[in-house]
């Protein structure tokens, strides 16, 4: 899915140097795979709560892929 498609579908973009993370709170199942696997990136006590540059782009990608609901998506910055 393109950046525009994700935004049109209700995802919010969190910009990083190498990778952008997209989150849609409407479909989140709160499985906490993101928080458990990359707490330095996904921290619900901070604002913004997603900071992609706090870990390697590969770790962010792997963590997003663990999301069971699809509420998290990623795209590498072109």
Model confidence, pTM: 0.95
Instruction: Report the DSSP beta bridge partners of residue 69.
Output: none
Residue 36 has what pLDDT? Answer: 97
| pLDDT of residue 1 exceeding 90 | no
Give per-residue pLDDT as tens, 51-78: 999 999 999 999 999 999 999 999 998 6
Q: Can you tell me which residue has the tokens 């770790």?
A: 59
CB proximity list for 16: less than 8 A, separation 6 or greater? 51, 52, 53, 57, 60, 77
Domains along the sequence of the chain with CATH: 3-76 (3.30.70.20)
Per DSSP, what are the bridge partners of residue 42?
A: 50
2-36 pLDDT tens trace: 999 999 999 999 999 999 999 999 999 999 999 99
């Amino acid at each position: 899915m393109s950046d525009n498609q994700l935004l049109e579908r209700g995802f919010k973009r969190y910009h990083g140097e190498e990778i952008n993370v997209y989150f849609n709170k409407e479909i989140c199942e709160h499985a906490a795979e993101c928080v458990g696997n990359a707490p330095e990136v996904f921290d619900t006590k901070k604002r913004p709560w997603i900071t992609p540059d706090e870990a390697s782009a590969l770790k962010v990608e792997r963590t997003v892929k663990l999301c069971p609901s699809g509420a998290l998506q990623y795209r590498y910055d072109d």
